[in-house]
Every structure is written in C-alpha cells, then in structure tokens.
Structure 1
Amino acid sequence: MQLALFDLDHTLLPCDSDYAWTQYLIDAGVVDREDFTRKNDDFYAQYRAGMLDVQAFLDFQFAPLADNPRARLDAWHADFMARTIVPVIGQAARALVNRHQEQGDLCALITATNSFVTGPIAREFGIPHLIATIPAQDGYGRFTGRVRGTPAFRAGKLERLDAWLEAMGSWRGAFTRIWFYSDSFNDLPLLQAVSDPVAVHPDPPLRAHAEQAGWPILELYP
C-alpha cells in the first residue's frame, strides 16, 4: 500500500487559497478593505518568511467565518471557487493527482489552510481525504472563531497525519512508500518523515535544502 500526500497552496495551486479567500471577502465588501488588506499582506509575508504566529493568523482568518451564517458563507465560497480557484488549476497538477489515483495510492490533501476553504478544493481535485486546520463549530453548525484541535501547520501536519492514519487503523510504517509534495520550508518536519519528499515550486530555503538532500524538484506551473 502506498500513500500520496499533497500540500495545496503554491503546490497543487499556483496561489495561496487562504490569502485569496480573504482577498475575495475584501473585494466583496464583506470586511474592511484597509484593515484586512494590511493584515492579510502582513500574515502572508510572515508565512513566506517562516515566522508566522499561527494562532494570531487563525484569529484573523476565522473572524469572518464566525461573523456570518453558514448559508451565506457557502454561497460566497461557491462563487470564490468559480471565479478564483477553478480557473487557475493547471492540467499538470490534475495529472499528478490522477497518476497517483490510477496507481491505487491512498491520496490525501494536507494543508494548513482551514477545512472550510479547502474542502471544496479537495473535491475539485477528486482527492477523497482532507487533513486541514479545523475551524470549530457550535451545536448549530455556526463557526465559533476558534480552532479545533492542532493546526495542520509545521510539525502539526505530522501530528495530524498520524492521528488520521490511527483513526483508520493504520500507521506510517504500514506503507511501502509515502510521497509528500510541498513548496514550503515550513513543511520540513513532514517532508523529512516520508520516503519520497518532493519539492514543488519550492521557496528559497526549501529549494536549497532539496538540492542538498537530493530531493526531486517539480514545476507544475509556468
């Protein structure tokens, strides 16, 4: 049995879905343009520099989820998918996922971006399993603005992967090969824990590490 894990932002997608979702809300007039643009840019820069305060970012990212009813959020997200996400998905990214599925590999999208944003994107790729940061909900299905469990970020991705496998009655050692495709040095804990790490459009620190370690470097987008 083999396992293929895919990061999302700047890996299967040529953009950052977290950043793009907030930008969508800004353009739609849902949130304050000046305040959210500044914070969105600041958090994105922190992430790319490997210095993200994940709890502060989640407080920022989850606020619009808590402030709006689920039906309204779902309608916005459907429009976001049609306008922003689906048009930028490349054939090479789809082909990569399809190749692993045709091999019979167990496939999962594993991303720090929250499950509300990424669930529909995983379905668009036909990936059946999603490991993502989870926004907490109350008993009525409304988002609370808090995170549930461990964020799927840095070492948290490895923790969440192991918990997911355990829930299925499995573990990493049960697989003959595990691929993980990622663009980010933030994902180094998981990249180092799999048999087949692949750097995809890597940021400069990951590119340097991949070249030194002899990892494959993949370019899915021009």
Structure 2
Amino acid sequence: MLLPLSAAMKTAVYDLDKTLVRRATFTPFLIFASRRLAPWRITFLPLWVLMMAGYRIGLYNRTSLKQFGMRLMLGNPGHEILQLTGRAFASAHVERSGWLEGIVAMVEADRAEGRRIAIATAAFEFYATAFADMIGIEHVIATRWDGRLIPGGNCYGAEKYRRVAEWLGHDPAQSDLRFVSDSFADLPLLAAAKDAVFVTRNNAKRAKAAAQGWQVVDGEL
C-alpha cells in the first residue's frame, strides 16, 4: 500500500530522457526491441518516422502515437518479455549514450541529504524501472502499458503532475520538492517545485528557464 509522504519530507523527482540519460529512449527502444523480438518489423521503421511527423503537425496526441508505435514495431509481447527486453535495452542505451554525470551526481547528493527520490517520466514503466535500478532509485512514476493501450494516458505534462501528486499524497506545490527536467512540457511540476532545476546546454532554453526563476544546469558538468 502506498502511504502519503509528509509535506515536510524532502523529495527529489527526476525526469529520465535527456535529464538522467543523455538521449531520448522511446524510438531507440522500439528499434532495439523489434530487432530482438520480431526482426521483420524493423521494415516498419519508415512508417513510424511518418507517424512521428504526423504527431508534430498535430494529427494525434502522444498517447495515440506511442500506442501505435508499440503495436507497429513490437506487436503484443507479454509483460515479462517486455521487462527482460527493457533491462537489456537500458544497459545497451547507457553503454551507447551514457548518463548525464552531473545529474547523477545530483541524485547522489539528494540521497546523502536523505531526500526520497523518484523518477517521473513519459517513458514506459517496464524499461524506465531498469534505468532506475541501475542508479539505485526505488520509485518510478512512468507510462503504463497493458499490451494494447496506455491506461491513464501518457505520463507527460499535466498527467505527470497528477501522477506525482498521487505518489506524494498531496499537491506538489505543498511539498519540499526538487524537480529536475530538460523539458518545458514539465512546466506544471517545474512551476510547483520549491527547487526547480532545468537541464540544458541550449542558450535560448537557458534564458527562457532562467526567466522563470529556475536553476539552470548543464548536465555534462
């Protein structure tokens, strides 16, 4: 049973893609998993690229896009197979792309301070958990997959805020919360956090984040 966290308890919540790990994970996961589980499906990769373009021009939302991608590139493997594949993918992705070491060091500092730490990500839970395990983070708030659909929708934007609030047991704005992300899509949590940290090397994004009063860091350092 998940017990509410005290509002006075220090917590730290981290995004995953381009925050803890250097590169995005979903398309690389689809490619990795299709090659491993159903190699013939890699021929659908050009269609997946077209679907991403459709999303960018507003033809459908992220939840629909990700559901389509899973079914297109993987079919319907069982949950246990997805977990095993997710672990293999996480290891390969870190080996290929690496962690943002400065952000991992921040996790270690939060742990030493006694903060309760979670990853909150739009990545699928079955592989986000593998990344979390690699750096000793127990709590993962991520997109769920039931084999065909995404229950509750993509863990992104307002939905990520709702899911973090559910984990905390109260409004994030009432917490001693550090939230770390590279994405302005996480504005709801960044705006609510007592200590908002924005990760970027882009000067325009740096200026925009600084104008919000957020701490801006380069995860490479």
Q: TM-score, normalised by structure 2?
A: 0.80
Q: Which of 148, 152, 155 matches 1:149?
A: 152
Rounded to whole Å, the distance in 1 between the matches of 2:219 and 2:155 is: 23
Paired position in structure 1 for 2:199: 200
Identity within the alignment, %: 24
Rounded to whole Å, the distance in 2 between the matches of 1:179 and 1:24 is: 33
Query: Over aligned residue pairs, what C-alpha RMSD do you find?
Result: 2.9
Mapped pair 1:76 → 2:85: yes
Partners of 2:19 and 2:100 within 8 A in 1: no
Output the amino acid matched with 2:66. Answer: L
Output the amino acid matched with 1:107. Answer: I
Structure 1: gaps of 5 or more residues: 137-143
Paired position in structure 1 for 2:168: 165
Q: Which of 107, 110, 117 matches 2:120?
A: 110
Mapped pair 1:216 → 2:215: yes
Stretch deviating more after TM superposition (120-129 or 52-61):
52-61
Cα 1:215–1:52 shift into 2, 3 Å = farther
Cα 1:125–1:53 shift into 2, 3 Å = same
Residue 146 of structure 1 aligns to a residue in which SS?
A: coil
Rounded to whole Å, the distance in 2 between the matches of 1:41 and 1:200 is: 29
Q: Structure 1, residues 146-197: CA drift from partner, whole Å, max 9, x if none? A: 112243111111111111222xxx553653x211110011111111111111
Offset at 1:38? 4.4
Q: Which of 134, 142, 156 matches 1:124?
A: 134
Stretch deviating more after TM superposition (38-47 or 154-163):
38-47
Rounded to whole Å, the distance in 2 between the matches of 1:164 and 1:214 is: 26
Mapped pair 1:10 → 2:18: yes
Residue 150 of structure 2 aligns to a residue in which SS?
A: strand
Rounded to whole Å, the distance in 2 between the matches of 1:26 and 1:197 is: 37
Paired position in structure 1 for 2:68: 60
Rounded to whole Å, the distance in 1 between the matches of 2:34 and 2:74 is: 13
Stretch deviating more after TM superposition (60-69 or 193-202):
60-69
Aligned residue-pair number: 210
Offset at 1:3? 1.1
Q: TM-score, normalised by structure 1?
A: 0.80
Rounded to whole Å, the distance in 2 between the matches of 1:102 and 1:51 is: 45
Paired position in structure 1 for 2:5: none
Mapped pair 1:99 → 2:109: yes
Q: Structure 1, residues 39-81: CA drift from partner, whole Å, max 9, x if none? A: 257538957x999711222212432565223443344333223
